[in-house]
Amino acid sequence: MESSQVALTISYQQTHESDPSNFYAVNLGLRQCRSNSGFPRNHSATPLAQNENDIVLQVPQEEEFQRHYQDGQSVNASFLPAYMESLGSTFSNGANFAVIGSSTLPKYVPFALNIQVMQFLHFKSRSYDLLASGLEQMINNDGFQRALYMIDIGQNDLSDAFANKYTYTQVIKRIPLILAEIKNAIKTTELDPHSCISSYNSAAKLHNEGLHHLCTELRSELKDSTIVYVDIYTIKYELIANASKYGFTSPLMACCGFGGPPYNYNINVTCGHDGAQACDKGSQFIYWDGIHHTEAANSIMASKILSQQYSTPRVPFNIFCQ
């Protein structure tokens, strides 16, 4: 049986609700097809070579594809440009993040669902940056708010499991994990203006507030000790928020890793392993391997720590070296 799906696709509406161009999402599902009869299917508005792991929509015969294709055209829907083929496109009618063979699991491999979500979040943040620089044709906040978002994924998770000789019971047990990834993909939209996940940073700030109070308590208990609280969170966040000020070009991207933009990080192909590559100019990156900072970033953070500006109390650190 011909199985198919689109991984993660976004389409947004710029017009009044009665305008047929609001039905961009119809075209998303209908324009991407494959079948054994040999007619082309598409993930990026340009023909791709056939692949048995392609993910799109069920098409048992070419005539049905033609009918669906005409249905998509009848609502005045345009092909959505692929995110991975971004040259020459302003994504004025949306973006397509689908990749052949993608699935929800395992995570952090090109191009699992969570990676596609990361790409979308980067796309959204970059759109805002370009708008601020004067490119008015980019999607604005209202466009993202009124967008139609489509996620169609899971078939490859099931078919791959069966292909790897999983039993029916084992496959069924995986379904909650697949659904959990889809749920996370839908919920992972809380980004701050610098593409950081707000909920994660909120938790970090609460943790640091607790540390601040703890240091205050310890000072009163250990009067012969000098206990200094340093707000390293603010130091690191300011480095990302004002990356260009310090000469960094890719604040959230690892210099050494695998996968390319926006993060160049793959938990299964980390720096130092086969397939990972290091950038030529580490001084332009904040993160070395997606976890540790580069020498350039560490140098800036060290100078900020020594400035005492982020310390409570403001004690010169050179007193510890006497």
pLDDT interval class at 92 (50, 70, 90) = confident
pLDDT tens digit string along 230-243? Answer: 999 999 999 999 99
Kindly state whether residues 26 and 137 are assigned to the same domain. Answer: yes
Asked if 138 and 163 sit in the same domain, the reply is: yes
- The secondary structure of the chain in percent helix, strand, coil, rounded to multiples of 5, reads 40, 10, 50
pLDDT band at 76 (very low <50, low <70, confident <90, very high): low
Q: Are strands 285-287 and 250-254 parallel, antiparallel or unpaired?
A: parallel
The verdict on 19 and 155 lying in the same domain is: yes
Other beta carbons within 10 angstroms of residue 87's beta carbon come to 5
**246 and 134 co-located in one domain:** no
Q: How many domains does one find in the chain?
A: 2
Question: Looking at the structure, do residues 28 and 47 belong to the same domain, yes or no?
Answer: yes
Does residue 72 belong to any structural domain of this protein? yes
Q: Is 311 helix (H, G, I), strand (E, B) or coil?
A: strand
Asked whether the predicted pLDDT for residue 314 surpasses 90, the reply is: yes
Q: Is there a contact between 151 and 7 (Cβ–Cβ < 8 Å)?
A: yes
Q: Are residues 60 and 165 in the same domain?
A: yes
DSSP codes of every residue in 81-99: PBTTS-TT---TT-EE---
- Among 164, 187, 210, the domain-final residue is 187
Confidence of residue 74 (pLDDT cuts 50, 70, 90): low
Half-sphere exposure of 224 (CA within 13 A, CB side): 0
pLDDT of res. 38: 30
Judged against a pLDDT cut of 50, whether residue 70 lies above it is answered with no
183 and 249, same domain (yes or no): no
Q: Which residue has the higher pLDDT, 196 or 228?
A: 228
Mean pLDDT of the chain: 75
The tens digit of pLDDT for each residue in 270-283 reads 999 999 999 999 99
- Based on the domain organization, do 178 and 209 belong to the same domain? no
Query: Peptide bond before 261: cis, by omega within 30 degrees of 0?
Result: no
Does 109 reside within a domain?
yes
Short-list 37, 33, 38, 124, CA closest to 79: 33
Q: Which domain holds residue 308?
A: 198-321
